[in-house]
Structure 1
Amino acid sequence: MHEVEAYRLLIADVYELAGLSRRTSEELARSLGQTAARWHVLSVLSDGPRTVPSAARRLGLAPQSVQRVVGDLVDAGLLEAVDNPDHARSPLMRLTVRGRAVVDELFARSQDDRAGAVARAGITADELLAAREVVRKLAAALRG
């Protein structure tokens, strides 16, 4: 098999995995009055403030769609805008105390589900980290 064919198969599998994960995320998020889209944005911001375009790139989505979700999260008191020293017209979005509590609860509620999936797959943390490294290298190469 050639590298390009293997690449295409990997991408198809990543899309399938993302879709399956999104469905289970939707069910878990609903239990806390959230959506998978809101959870994904909260998750991306859980490691620190980002601009909407940066969050959109991380999620592989259009900035406009992420902006709508960010607006909902700001209105719900889960995110707040703070000054961006690097770009005055593109504020950094960060979790509020309430937003941190919601994302932490979502992570806690998903722990057993995700651990069960990993166990059923029979894979180790090292294997997951190796797969992540492959995906990150491909993403970096595609970014140029």
Structure 2
Amino acid sequence: MDDLLGYRLLIADVYELAGESRRTSEAMAREVGHSAARWHVLSVVSDGPRTVASAARRLGLTRQSVQRVVDDLVAAGQLELRTNPDHVRAPLVGLTGEGAATLDRLVRRSDADRGELLRRAGVGRAELDQARGVLRRLLGALHEPPTG
């Protein structure tokens, strides 16, 4: 029972941290004329082109909501659609040079803010790596089919 209570409290804290992070991200994104949703999509395709469905899964959002943001970013010259050799009807979405520059500005602005947050909290890399390890193990178990 203690483990289950610990899990529920961890998840509540993760949700609270994610919510606060989204609010501050939204404010930072507005400073450079974007939204957090646009920032998140730019970020998720920054490690290489992917389909809208893949981006949506990574962000935990519906494909339709990500498609709307992708369409806006393509129209703004921040993203481009590329031919997908694996699926003709699902193009790959990739950053343009302008999109990469926008993402760089957002990340630099965020790094300054988040660096100050970590300093105030007294949290360092080792603690962050440990916390991330726990979260990754939980995520891995959630993605596995239950045994028994």
* TM-score range normalised by the length of the shorter chain: over 0.9
Runs of 4 or more consecutive aligned structure 1 residues displaced over 4 Å after TM superposition: none
User: Where do 1:51-130 residues align within 5 Å?
Assistant: 51-130=51-130
Residue 47 of structure 1: SS of its match in structure 2? coil
When Rg is computed on C-alpha atoms for both structures, the one with the higher figure is 2
Residue 29 of structure 1: aligned partner: 29
Q: Does 1:132 align with 2:132?
A: yes
CA distance, structure 2, for counterparts of residue 56 and residue 140 of structure 1:
18
Which 10-residue stretch deviates more, 92-101 or 122-131?
A: 122-131
Question: Which residue does 2:3 correspond to in 1?
Answer: 3
1:106 offset after TM fit, Å? 0.4
- Provide the rounded CA distance (Å) in 2 between the counterparts of 1:128 and 1:33: 30
1:49-82 Cα shifts (integer Å, max 9, x gaps) = 1111111111111111111111111111100111
CA distance in 2, matches of 1:136, 1:92: 27
Aligned partners of 1:143 and 1:89: how far apart in 2? 27
Q: What's 2:39 paired with?
A: 39
Q: Which runs of 5+ in 1 are unaligned?
A: none
Per mean C-alpha deviation after superposition, the further-off stretch among 83-92 and 63-72 is 83-92
Q: CA RMSD in A?
A: 1.2
Residue-pair matches, total: 144
Question: Which secondary structure does the structure 2 equivalent of 1:53 belong to?
Answer: helix
Identity of aligned residues (%): 62
